[in-house]
Structure 1
Amino acid sequence: MPNPANVRTEPVQQRSAERINVLLDAAAVLLDEVGIDALTTSDVSKRAQSSVGVIYRYFPNIQSLLRGLASRNFDKYRAGLSATLNKRATNALDALNVAIDVYIELCRTEPGFRVLSFGNIIDRRFNVDRKSNNTALAEILTDLLVTTYEVPASDALAFDIEVTVEIADSLLERAFLYDPRGEEPFIDKLREFIAQLLAPHTKEAATA
């Protein structure tokens, strides 16, 4: 799971936390407007009506600022997933489809999310030596299927869910590449693939 690495000053007061959110909000909007390559701390400070010095108080460079935004994206995704699962998911396949739905909704409504998501693009660019964000998400989803939906735990399940997350990452990135609402054929194909990959594990659960 991504975390805001290299934050120089831990926000211990509400005012500091609010200031960080203002900076992250500004960066998110700019990501949609100019893209990740053109984003600068100077632009973020202007959009946030702040100063570059304030940014550097919390983030030593643009990469750490983006990781902070990626971490907030991940938190919003987990919160949305938690809030939606109990209302809509009655089985393991429902749960994975909800996971897709929550991600899609964030792509459509959350500034900067389509560009940055959980920050994998940052890690690919800067060779961060830590667990992949997709691996972390796969672990969360695997634990969810095992503990909540009684899918038998196995190495095969863990691997298949990690494969699912990697393919979902690619297909959803493509779905939103040209269409801010997401191209449905790619999303539909992802749901088909997930159903096929999960089927052997849920059959095992039914016969256990």
Structure 2
Amino acid sequence: MNLPATALSVRAEPVQQRSAERITSLLDAAAELIDQNGIDGLTTSDVATRSGSSVGVVYRYFPNIQSLLKALAARNLDRFTTRLHELLPASAADALGAMNGVVDAYLELARTEPGFRALRFGDVIDDRFIRENPGATSALSKLFTDLLVTRYELSPSDELAFDIEVLVEIGDALLHRAFRYDAAGDERYIARLREIVADFLSQHSAS
């Protein structure tokens, strides 16, 4: 018996690729549901229904909702850093331009990426559970510190690293507030963050 071409294609497709596509489908479904119902309203059965899968398939890749949310948060972080690397070489001539590029990359995701406004990089999940490792804000703080030191020649110091971590925490809070009630982002909070960033850089550039 001759199999249809579509069946042959499916059989020939690498298992790893099919798994990656299934995971993408599950994460896309979860992100859409978070926009619709919030993080607390997310269930495995809803993710299965939205993605056209079974609950068993969801559990095959994600043993619980926490693991699914962490995977989605990791994808958010990856897309953010990818967009950041795309923006900075072309647009940032100085440290202030670079940090404004960071804000712009965040704004783009918050306005276009399903589920991002509620989940962000996952610290909102970590706050609900005991965590053994530093959260995403610590990873981002190190990324920004390395960027400012290596590319824009700010003097490396423990004080600089700590101040950048404080700045990231402030920025996360202000941007979260900017998008809490406004899908486009309340420009008052965004503008104030840019002022804080400029003030921070002026202090460290002068030191």
- CA apart distance, 1:203: 2.2
More deviation, 11-20/150-159? 11-20
Structure 2 CA distance for aligned equivalents of residues 45 and 90 of structure 1: 46
Letter in 2 for 1:43: D
Residue 184 of structure 2: aligned partner: 181
Partner secondary structure for residue 13 of structure 1: helix
* Residue identity matched to 2:120: S
Give the aligned partner of residue 151 of structure 1: 154
Write the distance in 2 (CA, Å) between the matches of 1:145 and 1:19.
38
> 2:77 — aligned with what?
74
The question of whether the paired residues in 2 share the 8 Å contact of 1:20 and 1:58 is answered with: yes
Query: Structure 1 runs of 4+ off > 4 angstroms?
Result: none
The one-letter amino acid of 2:70's match is R
CA distance in 2, matches of 1:58, 1:30: 18
* Superimposed CA distance per residue, residues 104-130 of structure 1 (whole angstroms, 9 cap, x where no aligned partner): 110000000001010011000112221
Q: Which of 27, 30, 33 is 1:24 aligned to?
A: 27
The count of aligned residue pairs is 194
Distance, in Å, in 1 between the alignment partners of 2:135 and 2:77 is: 13
Q: Distance in 1 between matches of 2:25 and 2:191?
A: 36
Contact between 1:92 and 1:202, CA under 8 Å: does it hold in 2? no
1:84 matched to 2:84? The reply is no
Q: How does 1:114-129 map to 2 (within 5 A)?
A: 114-129=117-132
SS in 2 for 1:27: helix
Shift of the alpha carbon at 1:12? 6.8
Matches within 5 A, 1:1-208: 13-204=16-207
Structure showing greater radius of gyration is: 2
The higher relative CO (CA closer than 8 Å, separation ≥ 6) is in 1
Aligned-CA RMSD value? 1.2
Percent identical pairs in the alignment equals 58
Q: Which residue of 2 aligns with 1:5?
A: none
User: What is the deviation of 1:200?
Assistant: 2.0
TM-score, normalising length from structure 2?
A: 0.91
The secondary structure found in structure 2 opposite 1:125 is coil
SS at 2:114 equivalent: coil
Unaligned 5+ segments in structure 1 are 1-10
Matches of 1:120 and 1:72 in 2, distance apart? 13
1:67–1:119 Cα contact (<8 Å) kept: yes
Question: In the alignment, residue 107 of structure 1 is paired with which amino acid?
Answer: A
TM-score, normalised via structure 1 length: 0.91
Please give the secondary structure, in 1, of the residue aligned with 2:127: helix
Q: Which runs of 5+ in 2 are unaligned?
A: 1-13
- Aligned partners of 2:29 and 2:155: how far apart in 1? 44
Give the Cα–Cα distance (whole angstroms) in 1 for the partners of residues 73 and 135 of structure 2.
13
